[in-house]
Amino acid sequence: MRSFRGTVSQPLNCYDAQSGAYFQLQLEELRIAGPELSKITREGTEHLGTITGTLYGYISRWVPARVRTEHFREDTVSAAGKAEPLSWARTDAHEFKRTGSQRFRRDRYVSGATAYRWGNWYAVDGGWSFSGMLQFLWVLLFGGLLVGFLIRLSWVGLLLVGFFLVVFLVSRISRLGVGRAFFSVFFGLLFLIYLLAVSVSLFRSASAGHPVVRQAPAPDDRDYTHTQPVTAGARGAGHPAEKGDEWVVHHRAWSDLDGNNYEGDVRVLRSVYEQAGAEHRRLAGLSGLPEVYRSMALSDEGRLDGVYALFDSLQLVNHLDSTRFAGMLVSFVQDIPYSSVTDGSCPERGGSVSSGPAGEPYNCIGQVPYGVQSPVEFMGNFQGDCDTRTLFLFTLFDHYHYRVAILGSESFRHSLLGLELPLPGSAKMAGNERYVLWETTSRGFRAGQLSPEIDHLDYWDFNLVNTTSS
């Protein structure tokens, strides 16, 4: 017995005939007893052939592995000619067949330029089957929904999608056991993330609607509404008042979150209020709420002189900077009791919808085009829901040269105010501008403070942003 000086590909694939087990061995100092050489051919300076004998050596590494089980079926197809070529090279040509649930493949070999033959059939994994197709469709469905969910997360979601694509490509390119395991782990993680995304979506859908916010404003006996006749020629809303016209006056007393108290009258001319309502009813053909908001804000900004007068005086008397002045305006609107505004019919009292966002009974006005009141209408009847309030405040802040926005959420069926102010809390970017979000439907909310069930910024979109602050 002597040392073997040839080259043997390691690890060696081995088969134990007694147990029927396949395994791999890494043998060192390989020796062979009773060697027999056959099918020797020469290629350049190398001699190739088959060696048969008993191998000896010591084991440096034991590799338990899943070795391909080959089911050989002798192929009688051979190359044309009398003598079998001595050296064969596998080509790219191959074919498959299926026996039961097992898929088999065989490859085509060439020797020289004209001799071809088919190799033996061997079992392979993969291929299309009914169960495989169902698995593919299952993965495609989950993957598509997951990608859609991640993209909603903006650049963070895109990075995650890119990571999963890299993992997918690496696992598909690799044909080793590690690659297949990586591929399985990838789809396991994909499924878990999908379940998490679905759970979050279901929770948010269940929480959709107006937020459950703070307590309803307690009635204040200092608040009242009355009318006041105006003399012919008196100016209001930027034009002379007509004979017989009157002011609709709301006296309000409220406090901001810092405990500062404010009190005074806001007023609109009844003729202007009726004109705004008539224009509202004539609105038609607008593509959506952003167009409605823009049209109403442009129409009504010059009709609120009786509202601006109160806030101008309060700012002057109390020496309010821009941040405190904003808090005074928002708290004024938060103090107004909630009312529902709908383009349909109002529900009957005692029905399934019978309270505002803080649980208090609310007034309801129905058959309002687009389900929102204009700023003048809101100041005339003091009835407004979330988007009526944000539209009114948008008009005020635009008049006072703030950068302001209206944000809406179809998922939560709600509207928020956005202000470009250096305040902490929940905020959303529009270009390079950061807009802090503000709840307007109930008292007690500071800028950037939202109810937990709606504090998910990926569900909020900008409906309207003013273009200038000067």
Q: What would the 3-class secondary structure string for 292-355 be?
A: HHHHHHHHHHHHCHHHHHHHHHHHHHHCCCHHHHHHHHHHHHHCCCCEEECCCCCCCCCCCCCC
pLDDT for 164:
67
pLDDT for 351:
36
Rounded alpha-carbon distances, angstroms, from residue 367 to 53, 345, 357, 381: 97, 6, 21, 15
Lowest mean pLDDT among 96-110, 115-129, 456-470: 115-129
Rounded to whole angstroms, how far apart are CA atoms 209 and 11?
A: 65
Tokens representing 297 are 């804000």
pLDDT for 355:
38
Within 8 A by CB and 6+ apart from 61, the residues are: 11, 25, 26
Rounded to whole angstroms, how far apart are CA atoms 224 and 240?
A: 26
Rounded alpha-carbon distances, angstroms, from residue 94 to 89, 90, 126, 309: 13, 9, 15, 88
What's 11's DSSP letter? S
pLDDT for 271:
92
Rounded alpha-carbon distances, angstroms, from residue 324 to 178, 256, 304, 415: 62, 9, 21, 22
Residue 403 in contact with residue 431, Cβ under 8 Å? no
The yes-or-no verdict on residue 21 having pLDDT over 60 is yes
Element at 21 (helix H, strand E): strand 21-43
Q: Taking all residues of the chain, what is their mean pLDDT, rounded to a whole number?
A: 77
Phi and psi angles of residue 9, each rounded to the nearest 5 degrees, phi first: -70, 125
Max Cα-Cα span within the chain? 128
The yes-or-no verdict on residue 188 having pLDDT over 70 is no
pLDDT digits (tens, 9 = 90+) for 95-107: 888 776 677 888 8
pLDDT for 372:
94
Q: What would the 3-class secondary structure string for 94-116 be?
A: EEEEEECCEEEEEEEEEECCCEE
Tokens representing 157 are 């979601």
The yes-or-no verdict on residue 250 having pLDDT over 60 is yes
